[in-house]
Structure 1
């Protein structure tokens, strides 16, 4: 259930409703909008009469939410969530965010060079993995905290906010110390302890869809983060595992407009992991923008053939610059901008 507050409701009214929710043994989450505020109620709402909330001061109406993902649902919040970055750019609204960088941080020199180049090409944020979840225990696992230090240095030099993956609840505090945006990888989409931990951090979170996850499972994973009073969740489609073998995964772009009908959260697409082929990054990036994606997550490297991780799906810095130029008219065609 959600409680829609009147446009003229005061902070005192809102606090009174939140206090009443807590006294009923439920949890209330405030969703602040441009014109009015909404309070989502989490828990077994049957403990109070249906019309109990409507008589409270400042309440316009209470509305039942049918979807199990109450905070992620458009039923609970009919205005789009926009995530603002510290460099003045954002994810959501009319702007297409492009987050770019290497799959793994290899050295300070490498990540600083990439940061400067993607910034100059127009990137919104810099990505880079310090902790790498690998299927093979003998492959490169990342530089860990040393990589985080290099990533933070690249932020100082370039001015770009930084994105990096966090693997365990124990790592959240450390990674949050350095990073602006936390990333949850596909293997951890249903690591519920980790989802709660990143939610409690208060940092914006990029949540990648599990490689076999349904849309409902995807949104329920986001709900774990939102339920910790962290509204800054960014959904990321990165391909699912199917019987097809011509690409690394099957990148389902239809999920973008489908999610737009179901949730207020911004949605970005990762064509690098979604295809596993650098030749497909350009067309799938354009297609992502055409179907309504709010951003892209792209792997780029000065010399992809020498990349420690995922070289075949990584584009050169020159190719990234060309891609950014080619994306502009596509964005303009759908009423948006890079």
Structure 2
């Protein structure tokens, strides 16, 4: 349930409601909006009527939430959440473009990609330092060396940075070097990892699992938010279907659907969804038209030499052209890019 506080409620009244909830075994999560404060409460609904919350000073109303995901639901927060990653806002009027190579391969490769995507208009640099791959013989990333290179690229370009974490060790290292943590599709239901990134204090990019339903995806976000971290960006990256013409099937309908169900921002990864650089541009434009708050696009200085996901990575020239196209689409739907 959520407890909606009156717009004039004092800090003492809010704290009194939180204390009452916690006394009765509920986990209380205050959510501060522009116009009001709501308190998300997770616990045994059977004792709801005995709490007497409606009669407490400053309480406007109590709203039961029927969905299994509570804190990330639109019922808990009517306003859109805007996630801050360094100087970048995701979920506002500005389209946020995250770009860079799938994996950090070398200093020369990463710095070249970073300067190029920054000049083209990207706001955040992506680069994998820890690469969970299908084959144990594939390139697995540079580890901490890759994180240090991301930090150097950030200093040189002013870009915020995001990288994937795969376990407790990679998380402990990553929080020291990057601005945002990514939980990949394979780890979407790694609940212990979700709880740890929830406690990290860093913004989190949560990718949809390979075969996850929308509800399972939002429940994964609930794990993170239940640990006190509301800075979550959801990423649609395609799901596994019977179709083999593309790497995955990009579910663009999930973008407006999730934005109706949740207050969290939603971005789209057309690179992993299609696995084909020829399809990245059309799907990126379609994602913006569908209401996506941003894009995650793989760009490599020399895709044919990439150690990871070269076929889906754009060349620098292709990325520059795509950014120009995206500005036109974004303007048509009332956004800036």
TM-score range with shorter-chain normalisation?
Answer: over 0.9
Partner in structure 2 of residue 315 of structure 1: 314
Provide the C-alpha distance between the structure 1 equivalents of 2:126 and 2:151, rounded to a whole number of angstroms.
Answer: 11
Partner in structure 1 of residue 196 of structure 2: 197
Query: Structure 1 segments of 4 or more deviating over 6 A?
Result: none
| 1:49 aligned counterpart, secondary structure | helix
Which string of whole-angstrom CA distances, capped at 9 and with x for unpartnered residues, describes residues 179-213 of structure 1? 11100000000000000000000111000000100
Partner in structure 1 of residue 133 of structure 2: 134
1:170 equivalent to 2:151? Answer no
| 1:14 aligned counterpart, secondary structure | helix
Provide the C-alpha distance between the structure 1 equivalents of 2:255 and 2:49, rounded to a whole number of angstroms.
Answer: 38
- What is the aligned residue count? 337
Which string of whole-angstrom CA distances, capped at 9 and with x for unpartnered residues, describes residues 86-128 of structure 1? 22x3111211100000000011121111111111111010000
Partner in structure 2 of residue 271 of structure 1: 270
What do you get for the CA RMSD once the two structures are aligned?
1.0
CA contact (8 A) 2:72 2:221 kept: yes
CA contact (8 A) 1:101 1:118 kept: yes
Provide the C-alpha distance between the structure 1 equivalents of 2:220 and 2:85, rounded to a whole number of angstroms.
Answer: 23
Partner in structure 1 of residue 42 of structure 2: 42
Provide the C-alpha distance between the structure 2 equivalents of 1:329 and 1:248, rounded to a whole number of angstroms.
Answer: 28
CA contact (8 A) 1:24 1:48 kept: no
CA contact (8 A) 1:26 1:45 kept: no
Provide the C-alpha distance between the structure 2 equivalents of 1:70 and 1:83, rounded to a whole number of angstroms.
Answer: 19
Partner in structure 2 of residue 23 of structure 1: 23
CA contact (8 A) 1:238 1:274 kept: yes
TM-score (norm 2): 0.98
Which string of whole-angstrom CA distances, capped at 9 and with x for unpartnered residues, describes residues 21-76 of structure 1? 11111100011100111000011132342661111121111110011100111011
Decide which moves more: 70-79 or 50-59: 50-59
CA contact (8 A) 1:256 1:267 kept: yes
Partner in structure 2 of residue 233 of structure 1: 232
Provide the C-alpha distance between the structure 1 equivalents of 2:43 and 2:90, rounded to a whole number of angstroms.
Answer: 30
Stretches of structure 2 lacking an aligned partner (at least 5 in a row): none
Provide the C-alpha distance between the structure 2 equivalents of 1:195 and 1:128, rounded to a whole number of angstroms.
Answer: 20
Provide the C-alpha distance between the structure 1 equivalents of 2:319 and 2:308, rounded to a whole number of angstroms.
Answer: 18
Partner in structure 2 of residue 286 of structure 1: 285
Partner in structure 2 of residue 117 of structure 1: 116
CA contact (8 A) 1:29 1:41 kept: yes
TM-score (norm 1): 0.98
Provide the C-alpha distance between the structure 2 equivalents of 1:111 and 1:21, rounded to a whole number of angstroms.
Answer: 49
1:33 equivalent to 2:38? Answer no
After TM superposition, give the deviation of residue 170 of structure 1 in Å. 3.3
